[in-house]
Every structure is written in C-alpha cells, then in structure tokens.
Structure 1
C-alpha cells in the first residue's frame, strides 16, 4: 500500500501557521483601541469607528506592496523593517488625500513558513501601525511551496482611513505660480529596486560598504520608507497648502502630475537640492540616463507640498520648526 500523504508532506505546515498566529497576538493587540471589536484569528476584523465629530465622513483606502526591496532583505536576512516600509507607504498614500488612517490588513505569502521570519515581518507591521495610530486588525499568512522558494516571501497591505468630505485634498486648488516644497526621503523608500539591484550588485556584495558610505550597501538599501503623516497633519489645515504628492513609482513628475489640474504642469528645478550619494552611485556606476533616474527614483524627495507663493514662508517655517529640511524645488506653470 502507498504511504499516506499529509498536507505537511506537500509543503504546507498548518501547525507552524497556528504557532505564528499565537506568537503575534500580544503585539498585534497593542495596536488596538476601543474601536477594534475582534481579536486576531477570526474570519474578519471588526472595527467600530466613531464619526460623531465629522460632518460627512469619507473612507479612503489603498493597497500596495514592497516590491523587490524584499530581495535585499533576503540577502541581508533582515526582516523587521519591510513591514514598516509597507505600512508607512500605504499610510502616506491616503494621508496625501487628507485622510487619517484607521486600520491596516496584511498579506504574507511564503514558500515554507519560518515562524521566526514571519514574527519579525509582522512585528514591523505592528510597530509602524502603533507609530501611525492605526490598528492592525487582520491578515493572511499563505504557505505556497510551488510558488515561492523556501526562504522567499511576498507582502501586500491594505490601509483604510477616513476624511471629512469638505477636507479632502485633491489638488484642485493648485494654480499657476504655486511653489513646490520638497521634503527629504529616507533613501529609495520602496521604489526603483529592480534597477538599483541590477546596477549595484553587478559590482558590490550586499555586505560591502562603498567609499563615502558609513554603512554596508544592504543596510543603506533597507532604510525605512518614511511616514509623512505627522507633517501632513501639520500642514493640511494651513492656508495656502493646495496639494500633496507622495513620490513613489514614477518619480517626482509622474506622481506630482496626478494632482495638478489640467492645463498646468510642475516645473522642477532639478539642481535645487543635493541628491543623496546612493542615487549618485547608481547613476555613475550604471551609466543610467537622467531621464531613467527621474522616472525610477524619488532622488531624495519623498513628499512634495504644493503651496501658494504667499503661504511659502509660513509653510517653510512650520516645517523647519518641526525638524524637517524643506527645499523649494520648483513651480507650477502652464502646460
């Protein structure tokens, strides 16, 4: 008689999944407020928002991934930061619309579940959720041995937030003569890694420290995607602040044009800020054309605030007082 085949024999360890869920319960619980009515492990996350102080609440949602930045994490065997990357990226995407984050859900898929790796990834989700004031109310852990190699995994996340309808920020107030004020990124954030890896790893190992750098290339590439929620909270109620652009895939122009009204365009002064040395290294080492750099990377600018000229001084002062390093990097002109 043939030997019976179990689910574990096919590469799926149900007990490992249950062990992971048990191990993360307490840290996930720390992201919950009174609005969360469910515990992790149920069929759905229950969230009871309090909208009594809002006139016309509008839910705002976004879903994203971390991309091939994960390959750097695999090479470094460092898994506690990519979860933070994902939460912060998603939070930024709804914050630029004026929304406050409510809750986050994650999807973690892997070839063979390593509970220690899973714990570290999810601890990153929980840390960033606490920092951004949103609840981690659920997720999915999928073990798929025929899709991923044993040590590989992929991540996706969904954020849901809320904004009062009259406070939605769309960019429709942007007009000719407005200024572009850029805020520094913390490295590549979560975009451009396919190009960066192709260039950098053709010459360097992930543990190498290039000349002029104070940490190895792997750590440099794993810098955490910055959350701009505190800055946006500070600025969104200020007079003359007309729009926000989160600089992700597509670069500065590709993202900023998403909020600019028809007939206008962003005129960027590309030499108005100092590009971080990592971008310079990529461009020089790979002989990457400037157009490709501008399309693939944030080039050191993670968030752009579009403000009226009359509001620029007050906005710059508020940002500097908050510890930011803003730079006027362009204007809005006729298309």
Structure 2
C-alpha cells in the first residue's frame, strides 16, 4: 500500500516496521517459560501463576526518566536509558515487597529512527532481565512537530505481585530501629534539571570534561541500580518493616514516606561514602550539603527499616548478594530527617 502521503506528513510507517523487527530479539530475552504473548498482538497476555501466594495483591508503578534524557540526546547514547525507566518503576513497587511480573513501555519521538528505538528497547529489556520480569508490550509513537528534532520521551508501567501477609508494616516501627542504606550506582534518574543547569552555568561539556578517568557524561548516564533481586531475597530472611526508594526529593521527601506519623530519622553522615559525583555537583553548583540531601540520593538508593537485632544478618546477606550496604541511621520519636 502506498504510504507517501503519510510519509510527507512526517510519519514513516516502514521505519516503524523496521523498528519492530529490530526490537524483537530484545523482547525475546525477557520472555519466561510460561509466556504466551506474541509480539505484535494488540494486548499483552500474562498467565498468572500464584504458587504458594494465599492472598495475592497486585502492585503497580509508573514513571519516566525525566530530563536525564537531555544528556542522552546530547551524547547520542541511548542504550542505558531504558534501564533507568524500568528501574524507576520496579524499585518503587519493591517498597511493597512486590515481585515485578511484567513491564510495558511507551516511546514517543519526533522521527522513528529504527536503530535508536532498538537501542532504547535494548536497555528496557536489560532492565527487565535484571528485575526478573517480562517486557510484555509497548508502544512507539512517531509524532512529528510535537517533539524537537531528534528528541523523544520514554515512560513505563509495571505490575508486580505480593502476598498480603508479606507487605511491610510500618506501623510496627519503633524508636531505635535501624535504617540500612543500600548504595546507589550514581545520580540515578533524579535531579537532572539542576545537574544540567550546573553544567551549563559552569560551561562544562559533558562529552569532554573528564572526572575520575571518565567523562562527566558517562558518569551521569550510569543507569539506575535495580534492587529487586537482592531485596526480595532479603525479605525471605528477615523482617523488613519498611522500604524507601530514594528518588526525587532525596532523603527529606522519601524517608518520611516509609515512617509512621510521629517518627523521624537520624542519619549519620559518616556511616556511608558520599559518591564523588555529588561532591563535584555540590562544589560546582555552590550547593550546601544539607540541600543536596533534599535533591539527590547522595550514594544511597534504597533504605530499609529493621529491628536492631537483625542488623548484622541483614548487612551480611546484602553483601553476599553483591550489594554495598551500611547502617546509616536510626528511627527517632520526632518527625523529620536529621543529618548528623
């Protein structure tokens, strides 16, 4: 069928067909033994196997990558952005002890470049593999005149499952409970509007400015760490009273969400290493450390509240799973986050 009229309007359906052909191999990597889904169907099919789950609760999450995408555009590097998208979703539902089941993506762009779409989906598939979930479907929308030239947006949606009895109960948190922090891989996917402003104000070219033997761009594009496998295993071994994903708003916004009313947290700054990239941003941007903790993760991507008696076991297990983990503070009977 002749599609010249549509192509003249800026939409190349043949590029869309090529994109689908290229991404099939990435999607296939995430398919599980019980998969009955066919790429190209109008809906994603997922057989729900409950196993030993007595009271199944479905947990959903959705998110995007934010203005970190601007760095990907600038550096023409698109293969890790998909991991960020998956991570932002699955790490959120992990706070409810949910095992991710499947993920859907949405990619909207000004022009469909099949190799670029393939690179993005390759990252999404890698994120799904890391999270142990299936890339069940998605949508690629070519929207000429809506997005700037060579730019795109990517967002995702995941669904997980948890037995009702396994959901963390923050009402059981007591004064003196310990807060364990699990190390981040870097800036993750938050605060990039400020990051880009700092780079612009200081005339720092992320493609050429080197820091710790890498370009700043490479460091900033380090994908968000996915904590699913290690934290789900930990849930099987100890009682975790609450979990917080340290994303936008840093410690000040996210830690209180994991605490009951009337309680707060005292964080010991010397208890964990602040990643060098945050010292760099603080110095170049003239931002006080206190303020940095309200914007960035500062080297801690996820926090867990546990009984003091289980602290050593939790640390040993997390480290055996390949995580860097620290006791970073404790729960106090006073609302707020206090850095000391």
Same fold (TM over 0.5): yes
Flag the 1:36–1:322 CA change in 2: closer, same or farther, 3 A. closer
1:60-96 alpha-carbon deviations (Å, 9 max, x no partner):
1100000011111111111100001111221111112
Per the TM alignment, residue 173 of structure 1 is displaced from its structure 2 partner at its CA by: 2.2
- Cross-structure match for 2:337: none
Per the TM alignment, residue 128 of structure 1 is displaced from its structure 2 partner at its CA by: 1.7
- Cross-structure match for 1:254: 253
1:269-309 alpha-carbon deviations (Å, 9 max, x no partner):
23332211111111111111334311110001111111111
Flag the 1:268–1:217 CA change in 2: closer, same or farther, 3 A. same
- Cross-structure match for 1:199: 198
Give the alignment of 1:29-108 within 5 angstroms. 29-108=28-107
In 2, are the aligned partners of 1:170 and 1:259 still within 8 Å (CA)? no
1:208-229 alpha-carbon deviations (Å, 9 max, x no partner):
3345x11001100011100111
Q: Give the unaligned 5+ runs of structure 2.
A: 335-340
TM value normalised by structure 2 = 0.93
**Structure 2 CA distance, aligned partners of 1:27 and 1:282?**
35
**Structure 2 CA distance, aligned partners of 1:201 and 1:272?**
33
1:130-158 alpha-carbon deviations (Å, 9 max, x no partner):
22221111101011112112210000000
**Structure 1 CA distance, aligned partners of 2:289 and 2:49?**
48
In 2, are the aligned partners of 1:72 and 1:218 still within 8 Å (CA)? yes
SS at match of 1:172: helix
In 2, are the aligned partners of 1:29 and 1:39 still within 8 Å (CA)? no
Per the TM alignment, residue 21 of structure 1 is displaced from its structure 2 partner at its CA by: 0.9
**Structure 2 CA distance, aligned partners of 1:195 and 1:154?**
19
Per the TM alignment, residue 233 of structure 1 is displaced from its structure 2 partner at its CA by: 1.7
In 2, are the aligned partners of 1:178 and 1:309 still within 8 Å (CA)? yes
**Structure 2 CA distance, aligned partners of 1:124 and 1:254?**
28
1:228-253 alpha-carbon deviations (Å, 9 max, x no partner):
11221221123342121111111123
Give the alignment of 1:89-128 within 5 angstroms. 89-128=88-127
In 2, are the aligned partners of 1:240 and 1:310 still within 8 Å (CA)? no
**Structure 1 CA distance, aligned partners of 2:16 and 2:233?**
41
Q: Give the unaligned 5+ runs of structure 1.
A: none
Per the TM alignment, residue 321 of structure 1 is displaced from its structure 2 partner at its CA by: 2.7
Q: Which runs of 4+ in 1 moved over 4 A?
A: none
My pick for the range that moved more, 250-259 or 263-272, is 263-272
**Structure 2 CA distance, aligned partners of 1:106 and 1:320?**
32
In 1, are the aligned partners of 2:186 and 2:275 still within 8 Å (CA)? yes
My pick for the range that moved more, 147-156 or 236-245, is 236-245
SS at match of 1:61: strand
**Structure 2 CA distance, aligned partners of 1:176 and 1:265?**
9
- Cross-structure match for 1:160: 159
Flag the 1:170–1:139 CA change in 2: closer, same or farther, 3 A. farther
**Structure 1 CA distance, aligned partners of 2:243 and 2:301?**
11
SS at match of 1:26: helix
- Cross-structure match for 1:309: 308
TM value normalised by structure 1 = 0.94
Give the alignment of 1:116-195 within 5 angstroms. 116-195=115-194
Flag the 1:78–1:126 CA change in 2: closer, same or farther, 3 A. same
Flag the 1:118–1:5 CA change in 2: closer, same or farther, 3 A. closer
Per the TM alignment, residue 170 of structure 1 is displaced from its structure 2 partner at its CA by: 4.2
**Structure 2 CA distance, aligned partners of 1:312 and 1:53?**
28
